Amino acid sequence: MTKSFQMRGLVPAVFTPMKADGSLNLAQIAPVAEQIIGDKIAGFYICGSTGEGPCLSREERMDTAEAYIEAAAGRISTVVQVGHQSIPEAQRLAEHASSQGADAISAIPPNYFKPNSLATLIEMMAEIASAAPDLPFYYYNIPTVTGVQVDLLRFLEEGAERIPNLVGAKYSHSTVFELQACLESQGGRFDLLFGSDEMLLSALVVGVKGAVGSTYNFAAPLYNRVIAAFDQGDMQTAKALQGKAAQMVRVLVEHGGNSAIKAMMGLIGADCGGTRLPQKALSKTQVEALKTDMTEIGFFNWGR
């Protein structure tokens, strides 16, 4: 079952809505989810980097996962990120995701005590994945954040022998040549979910079919047009649209990166609140400056 599982299309890495005091705003998940689903996306990636999963308690992560799975109501796929500094905690999160009806799980590696070898990384991921053996498992590869550098092709090929439910990886890295090698390995056995929104077109060219990203929460219509143009062989249009996406990402980075990305939800009428320390929410003045610059590049005309 798990070996044939594949994600197709755009999968927003969803935000965890929060109140002004930093507590969760679970009641906001349902309306946010409805707006995102309306943008023709394929799934939710829950409690990842965008969802501030590493900054949440186990109970908060469980509550967030439950709320998003309930909001999805079987209409789209749900992938729960269960990685943790503690392997037993990650296993509990995996068990919970399975019990709630998630479609798949994913895990980032610990980044305090980092795995010191490929064999150790595979052993750790095998323990996590074994807690939900009936769910497809995606390794979350984001070395610029975790500092865990791994030959992903070797991880997939060797890991598949130890992790029966390993189906692929969330690939949040810019080395497209490695991405292509992973996609072509073992006759296309592995499913690679691309995680660099500003490079989506590059990933499509080498064969990616599914992508997980933060800006898909509010700019899915733009990226869906990129995919449609590519599928129709209209590379000129696809390139132009991808250029707009890159322009949008540059503005977001200039205004604070993750905090600006979350603030964008309020600007499209799906407010997700502030952020959890160590990230800082934008002030009202900063949000207005972000809106001004996004308006100046025309985002509210072509991004939505």
Mean pLDDT (the chain) is 96
- For the sheet containing 77-81, what is the strand order? 9-12, 210-213, 191-194, 166-171, 137-141, 104-107, 77-81, 43-46
Q: Could you tell me how many helices (H) and strands (E) the chain has, helices first?
A: 13, 8
Measured CA distances, 289 to 56, 169, 260 (Å): 29, 36, 10
Tell me the pLDDT tens digit for each residue of 103-141.
999 999 999 999 999 999 999 999 999 999 999 999 999
Single out the catalytic residue among 138, 140, 171, 223. 140
Global model pTM greater than 0.85:
yes
Tell me how far apart the alpha carbons of residues 173 and 176 are, in angstroms, rounded to a whole number: 8
Residue with tokens 């985002």: 299
Model confidence at 4, in pLDDT bands (50, 70, 90)?
A: low
Model confidence at 6, in pLDDT bands (50, 70, 90)?
A: confident
Tell me how far apart the alpha carbons of residues 218 and 303 are, in angstroms, rounded to a whole number: 8
Residue 139 is among the residues annotated as catalytic for this protein: no
Q: Which SS3 state, helix, strand or coil, does residue 203 take? A: helix
pLDDT at 151: 95
Pair 1, 33: CB distance under 8 Å? no
pLDDT tops 60 at residue 1: no
Backbone angles phi, psi at 79, to 5 degrees: -120, 125
Model confidence at 2, in pLDDT bands (50, 70, 90)?
A: very low
pLDDT at 93: 98
pLDDT at 256: 94
Instruction: Tell me the average pLDDT across 52-73.
Output: 97
Tell me how far apart the alpha carbons of residues 276 and 259 are, in angstroms, rounded to a whole number: 10
Cα 59 from chain centroid (whole Å): 20
Single out the catalytic residue among 170, 216, 223, 262. 170
Residue 171 is among the residues annotated as catalytic for this protein: no
For the chain, list the domains and their CATH numbers.
Answer: 7-234 (3.20.20.70)
pLDDT tops 50 at residue 62: yes
pLDDT tops 60 at residue 213: yes
